[in-house]
Amino acid sequence: MNPALQALITIVIGVGGCIGYFYLSNMFVDRVLFPAKGEHAGRNINRANMVRPWLFLFPAVFALGLYLAYPVVATMWLSVTDRNLGGAFVGLDNYQRMMGEPKFWEAISNNLLWLTVVPAVSTAFGLLAAQLTDRISWGNIAKSLIFMPMAISFVGASVIFKLVYDTRPAGEEQIGILNALWLSFDGGIGAIIVLRIVPALLLAGFMAFIIYGVYQLLRPLAGGVGRRGGSSAFGVVVRIIVTLAAAWLGYKALVSIYSVLTFDYPYGQPQTWLTISFWNNFFLMVVLIWIQTGFAMVILSAALRGIPEETIEAAVIDGANDFEIFFKIKIPQIMGTVVVVWTTITLVVLKVFDIVFAMTNGQWETQVLANYMFDKLFRANDWGVGSASAMVIMLLVLPILVWNVYNARKEMR
């Protein structure tokens, strides 16, 4: 059958089926289930009006249940069964085996690193781009260029950056931009500034950001649990967990500063960047930051334009400079949007798979949870551990989804 004719038939059947369903369901409610006649006509009309919305929602609810709820339940069941034993129930054995594997903890560690760096850097760059492009005449062109990576798939972006990180044998012409730049260093003052001082300052800035974040997290606890200005018991637990994770990241940053300042760089030799442990994770993160900065810029630019001019004019009259206006007037007014952008990028990071799969396939200590799940499910055919890792990803994503929905409803009220 001709594909065009097949598509036309599909559209006619789909649209016709929807129209037929709504027409027949209306007929059933009004004439069979709750007929608007007799001594209970008024009551039947009210009941029909209560039932009708659910009847119309049924196809969508059924489809969502089939394509969303069922896979979750099925995956949960697979995570507590053993395929090799004919699907026998084994309880938490798969979870125990998963937690006993070093690759799982490597994936957890790398995911935490991604969660800390990518949302923060993407949001910061997006906010900076939104602020600067609104102040120049060719800002729309700049925004288009910054947003353009959003049109590229993760795999396509990975291929582009794989060429950037490409390595050719010593003596051959390097087509990778990073190696071409690397070979231009010879250990002089330029190498010291670019390879030691700048990375150390960036890591120190990251540590300062972590310390400030911990301070903001723990400051409300000074009022006591349950007191005004304090926090609930659940909030205290969450703050302590986040603080411990931040302390671990701060420790990693401190160790990295020492490594950067003392590392013996092999000048004159091309490097295989994606095999350098720890730093290769940052080379992978650059790809996602490059893509997500455009998304953050568009959303935050709209938020900045929605700020009332009166507040900015009042700050100017009071003698505030540009930095004070930006950090003390603009940022507080768009903080809700910043949080939404941050959490949205966080959801993307938790599910990141394509970039790692296409560039390193989880080798050289770059494993992440989604790629670990793929390896278990489709390479090792270990459905139990693979499903268990899928449940871990879902449990990590769920609180952020709930938080986003809560904030959206709060803003609507």
Cα angle 78-344-229, degrees, rounded to a multiple of 5: 105
- Which DSSP state fits 159? H
Give Cα separations from 19 to 16, 25, 59, 240 (angstroms): 5, 10, 12, 54
pLDDT at 28 over 70: yes
pLDDT at 371 over 50: yes
Percent share of the chain, pLDDT over 70: 95
- With residue 82 as reference, give the H or E element that holds it: strand 81-82
pLDDT digits (tens, 9 = 90+) for 32-76: 777 777 777 777 778 888 888 888 888 888 888 888 888 888 888
| Range with the largest mean pLDDT of 16-30, 95-109, 179-193 | 95-109
pLDDT digits (tens, 9 = 90+) for 306-326: 888 888 888 888 888 888 888
For helices 279-305 and 154-164, angle between their N-to-C axes, nearest 10 degrees: 130
- Per the rule left: phi > 0, alpha: psi between -120 and 50, beta: everything else, 174 is beta
89 strand-pairing partners: 81
Give the confidence band of 83 by pLDDT, cuts at 50, 70, 90: confident
Task: Tell me what pLDDT residue 313 has.
Answer: 84
Judge whether 368 and 353 are in contact, CB under 8 Å.
Answer: yes
pTM of the predicted model, to two decimals?
Answer: 0.74
Range in 21-35, 180-194, 229-243 the model is least confident about? 229-243
231 strand-pairing partners: 225
Pick the residue with more confidence: 403 or 9? 9
pLDDT at 292 over 70: yes
Task: Tell me what pLDDT residue 289 has.
Answer: 93
Give the confidence band of 228 by pLDDT, cuts at 50, 70, 90: very low
Range in 225-234, 265-274, 277-286, 379-388 the model is least confident about? 225-234
Q: Average of pLDDT values for 353-374?
A: 89
pLDDT at 408 over 70: no
Q: Average of pLDDT values for 97-118?
A: 88
Q: Any residues with CB less than 8 A from the CB of 179 and at least 6 apart, and which?
A: 165, 166, 167, 168, 270, 271, 273
pLDDT at 225 over 60: no
Task: Tell me what pLDDT residue 1 has.
Answer: 65
Burial of 405 (0-12, 13-18, 19+ CB in 10 A): exposed
pLDDT at 229 over 50: no
Task: Tell me what pLDDT residue 263 has.
Answer: 79
